[in-house]
Amino acid sequence: MRLVFLGAPGVGKGTQADKVAAQYRIRKVSTGDLLREAVRNKTPLGLEAKEHMDQGRLVPDSVVIGLVREKLADPSHANGFILDGFPRTVPQAEVLAKVLVERGLQLDRVINFKVSREEIVKRLSGRRSCPKCQATYHVEFAPSKNGTLCERCGEALIQRSDDKQEAIEMRLRVYEEQTAPLINFYEKQRLLSHLNGAEAVETVYHNLVKALAAPQTA
Ligand SMILES: [Zn+2]
C-alpha cells in the first residue's frame, strides 16, 4: 500500500500515519524526520538542508526530493509506505510520480485530513515540550502533572518557536498557498479521499481504515 497523507500542520496526520504503518506493516516517511536524520548524519543533502534551515529558509525542493528518492530506494520500503508531509507542492508531486514510475510503482490513495483553522491553532499553540528529555505535553489536552515543569525530569517546559501564534498563522498560510493546487492535482487523478480530522484520534483512525478499504470512488 502506497499512500500520501495531506493536511495542514496540527491536523494529526503524523499520529494517524504511525497507526496505519504499524497495522499494515508499512513504513512512514516523514520529511521532518528525513531532514533531521540527514542533518544529524551530516550527509551531503543534510549539510545542504542545514544551511537553509539555519537561515530560516525553506529547504529547497531538490534537497527534499533527493532525500525522499533515497528513502524509497531502500528495500525496507518495498512493502509500502506512507508519505507524511511530502509532496508539499505540485512540482514535488510531479517528481514523486516520476520516481514511482521509474520503480514501476504507483500511489494507491491520497488522504486529505481536514481540521478547522481555529482547532489547529488551539492544538498547536497549546503544545509544550521538555528541552531536556523531549517529553511533549499540551496545556489543555495533555497537561503536565507538574504544571509548567516536566513530569519526568522537572525541567521547565518550553513552547517551540514554530508553535507560537504568529508562526502558526504563517505556517498555515504557506500550507494553504502551496497545497490547494495539490488537492486538485490528486483529485484529477482520482486518488483523493477527504477525512474529517477534527474528531477523536480513534474515530479518525476508524474512518481512515474504512476509507482505505473502500474502492476508490472520487
Ligand atoms: Zn523532561
pLDDT at 15 exceeding the cut of 80: yes
Q: Tell me, yes or no, if 128 is annotated catalytic.
A: no
- Going from the Cα of 98 to the center of ligand 1, the distance in angstroms, rounded, reads 43
* DSSP per position, 106-156: ---EEEEEE--HHHHHHHHHTEEE-TTT--EEETTTB--TTTTB-TTT-PB
| pLDDT tens track for 204-217 | 999 999 999 987 65
Q: Tell me, yes or no, if 160 is annotated catalytic.
A: yes
Task: Please tell me the pTM assigned to this model.
Answer: 0.85
- Going from the Cα of 147 to the center of ligand 1, the distance in angstroms, rounded, reads 12
> What's the alpha-carbon Rg for the chain, to the nearest Å?
18
d(CA 86, CA 172): 16
pLDDT at 180 exceeding the cut of 90: no
pLDDT at 10 exceeding the cut of 70: yes
d(CA 148, CA 42): 35
Q: How many CB atoms lie within 10 A of CB 10?
A: 24
Contact residues for 95 (Cβ-Cβ < 8 A; gap 6+)? 61, 65, 87
Q: What is the pLDDT of residue 33?
A: 87
| pLDDT tens track for 67-126 | 998 888 888 888 899 999 899 899 999 999 999 998 888 999 999 999 999 999 999 999
Name residue 137's amino acid.
Answer: Y
pLDDT at 218 exceeding the cut of 60: no
Catalytic pick from 88, 109, 123, 128? 88
Q: How many CB atoms lie within 10 A of CB 154?
A: 11
CB 28 within 8 A of CB 3: no
Catalytic pick from 13, 28, 71, 128? 13
Q: Tell me, yes or no, if 36 is annotated catalytic.
A: no
Catalytic pick from 2, 50, 69, 171? 171
Q: What is the pLDDT of residue 217?
A: 56
Q: What is the pLDDT of residue 12?
A: 92
Q: Tell me, yes or no, if 171 is annotated catalytic.
A: yes
Residue 13: burial class (beta carbons within 10 Å; 0-12, 13-18, 19+): buried
- Going from the Cα of 154 to the center of ligand 1, the distance in angstroms, rounded, reads 6
| pLDDT tens track for 35-66 | 999 999 999 999 999 998 888 787 888 899 99
Q: What is the pLDDT of residue 200?
A: 92
pLDDT at 178 exceeding the cut of 60: yes
Q: Where do the domains of the chain lie, and which CATH numbers do they carry?
A: 2-116+167-213 (3.40.50.300)
Q: Which residue is associated with the grid cell 493536511?
A: 7
| pLDDT tens track for 120-169 | 999 999 999 999 999 999 999 999 999 999 999 999 999 988 889 999 99
Of the candidates 59, 118, 114, the one whose C-alpha atom is nearest the C-alpha of residue 92 is 59
Kindly give the residue spans of alpha helices, DSSP state H, lying in the chain: 13-24, 31-40, 44-54, 61-73, 90-102, 117-125, 165-188, 201-213
Q: What is the pLDDT of residue 29?
A: 92
